[in-house]
């Protein structure tokens, strides 16, 4: 009589784990390219904060690169605004928070921040239209 080998045959667990992790990475990359990396980073609040200073730095980079689309039209969510800063942003294309919200935030574009003197004006980009 012949003995039957009862060793389990199949896919090792480490291969399944590697495939799942690879799939997660591919989904993140696809979402980043499809929807924009800035929006992805802001959504998960990774790679830096969304304070006025960090957004101001990214606006200056867009200015230096003469990137009119990013400077004039790309919206960003800035958090941690004071009531005075919220009042200053009124009258721009900014989406402002509900009054008396503890952590005030607004959706801004670089041009509005420059117009209200939160950041330096961009000399390279004349007109946003």
Global confidence as pTM:
0.53
- The model's confidence at residue 92, banded by pLDDT at 50, 70 and 90, is low
- pLDDT tens column, 17-36: 999 999 999 998 888 888 77
* Domain ranges, ordered by start, for the chain: 45-121
Question: 108 forms bridges with which residues in the sheet?
Answer: 76
C-alpha to C-alpha distance for 105 and 69, rounded to whole angstroms = 23
- pLDDT tens column, 97-124: 544 444 567 788 888 888 888 888 888 8
Note whether 55 and 38 are within 8 A (CB).
Answer: no
């Amino acid at each position: 009589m012949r003995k039957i080998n009862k060793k389990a045959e199949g896919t090792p667990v480490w291969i399944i784990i590697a495939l799942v992790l690879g799939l997660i990475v591919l989904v993140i990359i696809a979402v980043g390219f499809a929807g924009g990396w800035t929006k992805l980073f802001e959504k998960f609040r990774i790679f830096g904060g969304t304070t006025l200073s960090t957004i101001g730095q990214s606006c200056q980079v867009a200015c230096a690169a003469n990137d009119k689309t990013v400077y004039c039209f790309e919206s960003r969510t800035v958090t941690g605004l004071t009531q005075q800063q919220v009042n200053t942003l009124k009258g721009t294309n900014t989406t402002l928070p509900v009054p008396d919200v503890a952590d005030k935030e607004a959706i801004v574009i670089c041009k509005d921040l420059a117009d209200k003197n939160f950041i330096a004006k961009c000399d390279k980009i004349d007109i946003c239209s």
